[in-house]
Structure 1
């Protein structure tokens, strides 16, 4: 019983705990949102920064920080300018009343100058900084004249220096205001912007000079805390930069703080180098720097105060949430968080692009379906309406003035309608002729029989032309539908390809670089784009090999051993000048290769053949072999067959599936001309990874596969291309093997031998008798045998042979792993 109760209570307890966690998370999230609303949206952060900048001084008398900050806010977020002005004046009043008055007067004069002449769009930053210089210099001159009634050279120089610093700070603060005036900055920061933010933060902390808690200087605690945060977020370079900038500004504010620059810079350097130890490592770097620089800077008397200040900074640093440091790191170029943020942004762009491409694919698919739909249900009704319209035209010409009109159409409508329809069908099917029997029967019924037949014959001409036009429209619509379907498929594949995320292969790149360099080769750069089996893609930069072939002979064999796959040099571009680098692309070698041979002859030994052929690698690991035979001979047949293969090649290279590509080519050929010019097509698509072959034959004669002494016939039946629009492409699939010889030929080869009853048996016997397996020799021998047997060349002859072989690498692999083991 107790066990059952415990089993019942435990899930309920877990549910309550989960609910409590969710409530706590929501509560914290609500507080965070409210705090951000108060601090960022209402401008309290800007007011606080303004207050501290209003207190900041250089050499205890120059105040160049306040007016540039107001100018930057007034220029970018004018709605926040009043609260910033209040913060600046309040900060200045805490130092001296005159400081607050001078800040207010300078801000007022700046707004007046801006009102008199607003800066142009191109030089607005430069103009605003000049306004700051002018306003601050004039106000300082007026204050000095009112208080002292005389002006020394030193006073003028100091005023000019202060105004010049304010002018420079204006350009710096303008880059920082967007970070403080909005809730979140989505775009990444430039290096200049990062430095500008550091200068702003250091300037703000200058306003805390003189504040102490239990003899601990607030500015020292905050400056070291700032260095710790940036060292943790950005590493040694950013940490030391923050230390140098912050220490420099502190030393300008107070000469007694000069040694702080060394302490902060050394702390940032050590903390950044120890950032792999997380917060403890960075804090340890500050403690070590404090002990070393503290003794050097102020001796042993104040070492304890300095040490306690560092401990206070470490305490604040330990209490800082990791999420805040991660947000800072996201904006610093070169950090892992920055790279991840960039990758996340690129992933979003990629997903949006893929989504848009997929939407376009769906649009094209919908358009294709719309063009493909044929209203079969209403086809019969349309045919009836067309027939009624046809007979009404005939009746208007023949029966309108006939005295038997009432009897024929009112009393015997069905009989008259059926007889005239029967005459129409006979005229249509018998080339304008009507049988004697039908004519005799119709003359008995109609007094104007011959006139009606002539009218039907005349109207039939227009009817047939109309039907042909409708058929062409239908075929055009089908062509558009097939094209849209093919484009939709290509775009869908492209969307899927976009969404395939490129992985970061930094570890593998380092391994490959180390292995090649340990072998003694100098490789400066390795970039891996894909490590997918069968689709490896690697780029390298190596010193100019000067034609020695190091990439093919050494690096590719080493990569083959490292990746356990045959790697070849796909592209090599060498520098034309001494000392340059060679850019080399390595990719996976295909498992199979295709070696082709071609032999052809034109009719009568002419120069122009009606046959055309092509052998090409179309990408995606596929190889195409095709023959097209144009109808007849000569230039027109050659043009048709060549055009067929060119169109097919373009469709296949675009990635459209083979059947759709062939149908599209057929549609183009059938619609572009009314002449009876047709062509055949014999296409073999070979996959170089698994040697599977697809044969698509359009009115072509059989093809053969020679496998040792075995001959395999490949055949299919289709009408020639261009005769009809709608036809099905028969696809014959066959698994090829290494050593197979594929033979494609035109009808001039297959049907040429005289006194041969069975062409297929004769061709198989000739292929079996050939002892060589060289594809070019086989093609030449077959063509020669056919011409000798025929005695002449009475038709265009073309034969294409393709031998399938295993892809044997030219160079053996170099066992990198075993070499590394021996070295160890």
Structure 2
């Protein structure tokens, strides 16, 4: 029974506890919104700040804080200026009634000058600072003259100092007022803005000088609390800066507070260094600094009082919600909170960009689907029937309309007449416009105007066939456009996914790699890791100029290979332009296979311009492409066609479009570009450098051969030359290559050159099998020389490309680095 009660009561208690937590969070958020509404939206915080700044004095007689604060509020939040004036006058009256009068009159004079000469938008901040200087100086001069009937040099100097400080504080406070709003600030605070905020806060706390609770000074408690707050949020640099600035302003207000600068600066430094200990660590730093500086500054008499003040600051600091400290840290550059905020912002921007690219991809996909759906089978058959009806209607209009047997043929024997004409049309189509005798004889028995009908059908057949050919071309073009749009959609979709791939933070790994290389004795500028994925490592590094000794290839890449556990090679290297500069190198994972090529070619008759073109290139995704194009004929025009074919193909492949769609797109461009009968062939081999799988796409090209030991494998396919028709199917032949294989690709000038040879395949296989070398360039030269000898002349363009597949073995072995813990 107790077990049953426990099983029933405990879940109910958990639910109530969760509801209580949710209610507490909602209540806290509601309270926070209410406080923001009262203090920030309604401007009550400006009243408090104005009250304290109205009380703030320097050297017990100068009050340079009030008027600059009002001027800044008037410029930045004009609707809240009366509230700030109310706080300033109230605070000044607590010091002396004359201070309140001076403050009020200074504000009136400032507003009068502002109304007389309103500054422009560009220089309004500087102009307002000058107006503050003039207003405060004139009012103070008038007050001293009325009170003393004379102005001494010392008085004039002090008035000038006060007005000068007010002018400077105006520019400082203008940077702080926009921060006192409910608008969320996305960018980080500049260094000047941080210092301005600290000066404003320290100036506000100066207004609490003289306040005490049980002999504990309020300004000391608040100043140390401020140091604790910024020490935890920004670290040692910000903490010590806050301490120095706050202590400096306090020492200007009261000479007795001079030692506070040392205490606050030392507390900010120690607290920032102990930031990893969170609130307790920063608090411990304040207590240690208070103990040390307290003994040094005031001796043991007041040490307990000073410690009590620090304990009060620590208590207030511990009661401060961590969310407030986190919000402060988000706006301070260099903090982890700021980095996370920036990463979230960049993530949002990246997601928006990826979403836009995906939308474009969907648009292209929709366009492709719309082109595909137009050619539905049912619609095509219905249109064919309509065209056949139109065809026969045109025939009957020319023949049957004037025939006396029209009524008998079309009213009484419609099906017989219709099927007979349809049969004649089919027979003419199948026999290239020649009608068989038996069909003409049978139709002559049925129709009295048989010769005229047959002639009319033959004439209309010409127009019908032309129309059908045009429709077929339009349909094929539409299908090609659909494939191209689908290919572009796929490329953009992959690009969107690549954008959304979040770059991981590899700060720790970068430091470890940097330390390991420097411990080895090499100097490295910086290390940037973009990817540590298995098989896709991407590292960028800057190293000093090595005078051509090849340190990146010989030392750094082997060390990275041992550190990461993969074979790393130098992908690209940009050497420094001068000896004292920095070289930039990119290190990436070495591919499992490498391709070594050799090329031999000769133009017809030993000329300089060949109609054949070739290319070998490494494209993205670890693929290697080898292509040969043979332009129709010889000379410059054939060379231009074959070169253009390979240029277009290269650009399509580098864009990431799939091979078949790329070839179809090139064919479409070639077929639509000119009406001349100038065509070209294409022989393309795509080799994957990770698994050595190869795809062969042959467009009316000569067979290729793979030599594997004593075995020769023939690769062939049949397709029309490129540019003849707009639509054709590309046959893809796949073959898995192995290390040591030799791939031999050639043009028809090589394959069909030997005289007195009936079987070119057998002759070429025998020559390849008899080769005694496995060097690609030597093989290309030997085969070209053998073909020319067998032919006796060069009566066609000849091109041969040889590629050897081999394991990608780096030149340098890995160098063990014991100080780095390898990646699991």
TM-score (norm. length: structure 2): 0.93
Matches within 5 A, 1:258-337: 258-337=258-337
> C-alpha displacement at 1:212, in angstroms?
0.7
Q: Whole-Å Cα distance in 1 between the matches of residues 283 and 581 of structure 2? A: 46
> C-alpha displacement at 1:818, in angstroms?
8.0
Partner residue, 2:687 = 686
Partner residue, 2:667 = 666
Partner residue, 1:748 = 749
Q: Is the 8 A contact 1:390 1:459 kept in 2?
A: yes
Identify if the C-alpha distance between structure 1 residues 412 and 67 changes in structure 2 by more than 3 Å, giving closer, same or farther.
Answer: farther
Partner residue, 2:348 = 348
Q: Whole-Å Cα distance in 2 between the matches of residues 164 and 558 of structure 1? A: 62
Q: Whole-Å Cα distance in 2 between the matches of residues 354 and 665 of structure 1? A: 29
Partner residue, 2:801 = 800
Identify if the C-alpha distance between structure 1 residues 65 and 395 changes in structure 2 by more than 3 Å, giving closer, same or farther.
Answer: farther
Q: Name the SS for the 1:811 alignment partner.
A: coil
Identify the range of structure 1 (523-532 vs 228-237) with the bigger mean alpha-carbon deviation: 523-532
> C-alpha displacement at 1:359, in angstroms?
1.6
Residues 70-96 of structure 1: CA distance to partner in whole angstroms, max 9, x if unpaired? Answer: 222222222222322222222222222
Q: Whole-Å Cα distance in 1 between the matches of residues 714 and 452 of structure 2? A: 60
Residues 683-713 of structure 1: CA distance to partner in whole angstroms, max 9, x if unpaired? Answer: 1111112222222222323222211112222
Matches within 5 A, 1:216-295: 216-295=216-295
> C-alpha displacement at 1:313, in angstroms?
1.0
Identify if the C-alpha distance between structure 1 residues 266 and 425 changes in structure 2 by more than 3 Å, giving closer, same or farther.
Answer: same
Identify if the C-alpha distance between structure 1 residues 71 and 404 changes in structure 2 by more than 3 Å, giving closer, same or farther.
Answer: farther
Residues 191-249 of structure 1: CA distance to partner in whole angstroms, max 9, x if unpaired? Answer: 11111111111111111111111111111110011111111121221111111111111
Partner residue, 2:20 = 20
Residues 119-172 of structure 1: CA distance to partner in whole angstroms, max 9, x if unpaired? Answer: 323223222322322333333344444544443333333333222222221221
Identify if the C-alpha distance between structure 1 residues 725 and 576 changes in structure 2 by more than 3 Å, giving closer, same or farther.
Answer: closer
Matches within 5 A, 1:513-662: 513-662=514-663
Partner residue, 2:339 = 339
Q: Is the 8 A contact 1:472 1:671 kept in 2?
A: no
Q: Whole-Å Cα distance in 1 between the matches of residues 96 and 522 of structure 2? A: 70
Q: Name the SS for the 2:818 alignment partner.
A: helix
Q: Whole-Å Cα distance in 1 between the matches of residues 313 and 351 of structure 2? A: 43
Identify if the C-alpha distance between structure 1 residues 144 and 600 changes in structure 2 by more than 3 Å, giving closer, same or farther.
Answer: same
Q: Name the SS for the 2:536 alignment partner.
A: coil
Partner residue, 2:124 = 124
Q: Name the SS for the 2:180 alignment partner.
A: helix
> C-alpha displacement at 1:503, in angstroms?
1.6
Q: Whole-Å Cα distance in 2 between the matches of residues 751 and 524 of structure 1? A: 59
Matches within 5 A, 1:684-723: 684-723=685-724
1:11 and 2:11 correspond: yes
Residues 299-333 of structure 1: CA distance to partner in whole angstroms, max 9, x if unpaired? Answer: 33322222211111111112222222222122111
Q: Whole-Å Cα distance in 1 between the matches of residues 310 and 662 of structure 2? A: 74
> C-alpha displacement at 1:562, in angstroms?
1.4
Q: Whole-Å Cα distance in 2 between the matches of residues 63 and 99 of structure 1? A: 8
Partner residue, 1:758 = 759
Identify the range of structure 1 (523-532 vs 602-611) with the bigger mean alpha-carbon deviation: 602-611
Identify if the C-alpha distance between structure 1 residues 456 and 111 changes in structure 2 by more than 3 Å, giving closer, same or farther.
Answer: farther
Q: Is the 8 A contact 2:395 2:460 kept in 1?
A: yes
Residues 449-482 of structure 1: CA distance to partner in whole angstroms, max 9, x if unpaired? Answer: 6666665555555544444444443333333322
Q: Is the 8 A contact 2:742 2:803 kept in 1?
A: yes
> C-alpha displacement at 1:497, in angstroms?
1.2
TM-score (norm. length: structure 1): 0.93
Residues 8-51 of structure 1: CA distance to partner in whole angstroms, max 9, x if unpaired? Answer: 33333322322222222222222222222222222222222222
Identify if the C-alpha distance between structure 1 residues 747 and 91 changes in structure 2 by more than 3 Å, giving closer, same or farther.
Answer: same
Identify if the C-alpha distance between structure 1 residues 754 and 267 changes in structure 2 by more than 3 Å, giving closer, same or farther.
Answer: same
Q: Name the SS for the 2:93 alignment partner.
A: helix
Q: Is the 8 A contact 1:701 1:750 kept in 2?
A: yes
Q: Which runs of 5+ in 2 are unaligned?
A: none
Q: Which runs of 5+ in 1 are unaligned?
A: none
Partner residue, 2:46 = 46
Q: Name the SS for the 2:533 alignment partner.
A: coil
Q: Whole-Å Cα distance in 1 between the matches of residues 367 and 800 of structure 2? A: 41
Q: Whole-Å Cα distance in 1 between the matches of residues 391 and 629 of structure 2? A: 43
